[in-house]
Amino acid sequence: MVLTRVAPSPTGDPHLGTAYMALFDYVWARQQGGRFMVRIEDTDRSRFNPQSEQRILQSLRWLGLQYDEGPDIGGPNAPYHQSQRLELYHRYADQLLELGCAYRAFETPEELERIRRELDGKGQRRGYDGRGRALPQEESDRRARAGEPFAVRLRAPDSGITVVRDQLRGPVRFDNAGLEDTILLKSDGYPTYHLAVVIDDHLAGVSDVLRGEEWLSSAAIHVLLYGALDWEQPNWYHLPLLRNPDHSKLSKRSGHTSLEWFRGQGVLPEALCNYLALMGFSMPDGRELFSLEQLIEAFSWRRFSLSGPVFDLQKLLWLNGKYIREVLEVTELERRLAGFGAERGWQPYPTFARVVELMRPRISTLLEFWERTRYFYAEDYPVTEAAAALVADSGPLLEEALAALRQLRPFSAEAAEAALRDLAQRQGRKLGQLVQPLRAALCGATETPGMFEILELLGPELTERRLERAVAGTHGLV
């Protein structure tokens, strides 16, 4: 039985990298008929952020990556917060101490800092020299009993090699001499990631550990712990890290990494999942547009690439546009736009459905729709510099257009086209020379859907009012 898990740390914004891992956790578990679980790794009290957990869980739900067990829905492996599992970690830390696989270290942060500097001076970039190993057992016990704070450190083997059997790269060998006596239990009583992850994954029966490549180095520590506790190892999958355009590990510094940002832009969750899947996986037939269901159907690790993919916002936006115009039904698109707008105070209006139709091939996000169609539903629409200039230069021409449009009956797209073509011909101009100023005056922009359709949607009243304003030179001064 396959059990995968994603284990976010509630320290800040819901991260794109979390979604990336969760996506493959979800897909792999579903395909294997297994389960997918969420666990909260809240063992760092200094970075804990009380809002973070709910935002992360909500982002996962938004993406459609439904988990089978987790902090808010419970399940057979509760509790799902590491902060509520402290006795467990202590029990196994004690066991490791008894086994001789770990030892107490009493150095203070200041002492450690000094040790680190000494080692660095000797050209060794490591955090600790293992001096705590020399402490006699009785003294260690006595100081612990006396209440002196200590950390529990792994007693890394001095020789031999530890092999991490990564499912994606084959055996990865680590020289044990290069391993550090990593801290397993902090002096505040909380475990570090290394101890907690091994215990929790084992106890829950996590069969497949999917995580970022950043963990590969410390995977040796985890393998050692599984061995010390005589537990069977899970299958390891270290996935490549999403990269910034400069190829560094994806970070806030050079791009957007918060899932909430993408949602706020009006990126569709299915498009984001689809795009994330493309970061490493490829369909056998090369298709780039596919649903989560199709991904589950076709997924295979053999088709997974290991080079760190650069996250390309432009391509995501293209894909999102593709979903908007080709995947979603129009009515569904209307529903999403309405829902998106509602959170920001934008309401559908009488001509909304028709405007959606016209804008569909012209937008790549939901936000873009609302931002670029304000002239359809409000009078305080923005006027671009180019539009303002065009209007200013076209007074007489607009007056003629206004006169012609006043006569327009019915006020339909067809009639408007006939009238404007006729007017342009009488003026000896190309249609565009007439329509562009009109567009600028009526929409405040030089880039919009077809003018004839817009005239019909605006209707005679708004059209006349806006043109009168334009002719009077008060355009854009609402």
Partner RNA sequence: GGCCCCAUCGUCUAACGGUUAGGACACCACCCUCUCACGGUGGAGAUACGAGUUCGAAUCUCGUUGGGGUCACCA
**Window 177 to 196, contacts with RNA (CB under 7 A):** 178, 180, 183, 186-188, 190-193
Query: Which residues, 57 to 96, sit near RNA by CB under 7 A?
Result: none
- Nearest of 112, 83, 98 to residue 181 by alpha carbon: 112
* Residues in 226-255 at the binding interface with RNA, rule: CB under 7 A: 240-241, 243, 246-249
From the list 368, 290, 307, 383, the residue with the least C-alpha distance to 336 is 368
Within 10 angstroms of residue 263's Cβ, the number of other Cβ atoms is: 21
- DSSP notation for 382-429: ---HHHHHHHHT-HHHHHHHHHHHHT-SS--HHHHHHHHHHHHHHHT-
Number of residues this chain uses to bind RNA (CB under 7 A): 89
Are the CB atoms for 1 and 205 separated by under 8 Å?
Answer: yes
Q: Which stretch binds RNA (CB under 7 A): 213-221, 222-230, 398-406, 460-468?
A: 213-221
Nearest approach in angstroms of CB 289 to RNA is 9
> Which range in 19-27, 88-96, 143-151, 329-337 contacts RNA by CB under 7 A?
143-151
Report the nearest approach of RNA to the CB of residue 193 (Å): 4
Residue 335, interface with RNA (CB under 7 A)? no
Question: 302, 345, 428, 477: which one contacts RNA (CB under 7 A)?
Answer: 302
Residue 249 designated active-site: no
Of 427, 446, 448, residue with least CA distance to 437: 446
Minimum distance from residue 345 beta carbon to RNA (Å): 26
| DSSP string computed for 265-314 | HT--HHHHHHHHHHTTB--TT------HHHHHHH--GGGB--S-PBP-HH
Distance (Å, whole) CA 24 – CA 244 = 20
Of these, 263, 439, 466, 475, which contacts RNA (CB under 7 A)? 439
Tokens of 205: 């029966």
From the CB of 62, what's the least distance to RNA, in Å?
Answer: 21
Active-site residue, from 122, 252, 315, 430: 252
**Parallel/antiparallel/unpaired status of strands 3-6 and 35-38:** parallel
Residue 368 to residues 56, 144, 270, 323, 378, Cα–Cα distance (Å) = 25, 62, 18, 14, 16
Q: How far apart are alpha carbons 375 and 380 in whole angstroms?
A: 8
Rank residues 256 and 322 by Cβ distance to RNA and give the closer one.
322
Least separation in angstroms between residue 122's CB and RNA is 11
Residues of this chain, 3-62, that bind RNA according to CB under 7 A: 7, 9, 11, 41, 43-44, 46-47
First to last CA, the chain: 65
Considering only 362, 377, 384, 469, the residue that binds RNA (CB under 7 A) is 362
Q: How many CB atoms lie within 10 A of CB 5?
A: 29
Say whether residue 435 binds RNA (CB under 7 A): yes
Q: What is the footprint of RNA within residues 303-332 (CB under 7 A)?
A: 303, 305-310, 312, 314-315, 318, 321-322, 325
Site for RNA in 261-300 (CB under 7 A): 278-280, 282, 286, 288
In this chain, which of 198, 234, 452, 466 binds RNA, going by CB under 7 A? 452
Question: Which C-beta is closer to RNA: that of 192 or that of 265?
Answer: 192
Binding flag, residue 415, RNA (CB under 7 A): no
Residues labelled catalytic: 252
